[in-house]
């Protein structure tokens, strides 16, 4: 493999990883909004989870950050 081929392969891999990261970041935001039941700009708990139900969701949200 020539240097040019290696550089092209690495550049393609970097571009693919950057796109994947962008998609994952967007998914993280959507997951966060879904976990906290955000309806609009406020954390309004529209699904009315109890505190006990929210504990696992909070742990998941912490891992996403």
Mean pLDDT of the chain: 86
Mean pLDDT, to the nearest integer, of 39-62?
A: 77
Would you state the pLDDT for residue 39?
59
Binned at pLDDT 50, 70 and 90, residue 43 comes out as low
* pLDDT number for residue 54: 83
Other C-beta atoms lying within 10 Å of the C-beta of residue 3: 7
Between residues 44 and 51, which one has the greater pLDDT? 51
SS3 for the chain, per residue? CCHHHHHHHHHHHHHHHHHHHHHHHHHHHHHHHHHCCCCCCCCCCCCCCCHHHHHHHHHHHHHHC
Give this prediction's pTM.
Answer: 0.65
How crowded is the C-beta side of 58, counted as CA atoms within 13 Å? 8
């Amino acid at each position: 493999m020539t240097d040019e081929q290696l550089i092209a392969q690495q550049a393609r891999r970097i571009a693919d990883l950057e796109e994947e990261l962008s998609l994952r970041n967007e998914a993280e935001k959507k997951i966060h909004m879904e976990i906290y039941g955000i309806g609009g700009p406020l954390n309004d708990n529209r699904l009315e989870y109890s505190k006990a139900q929210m504990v696992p969701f909070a742990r998941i949200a912490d891992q996403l950050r």
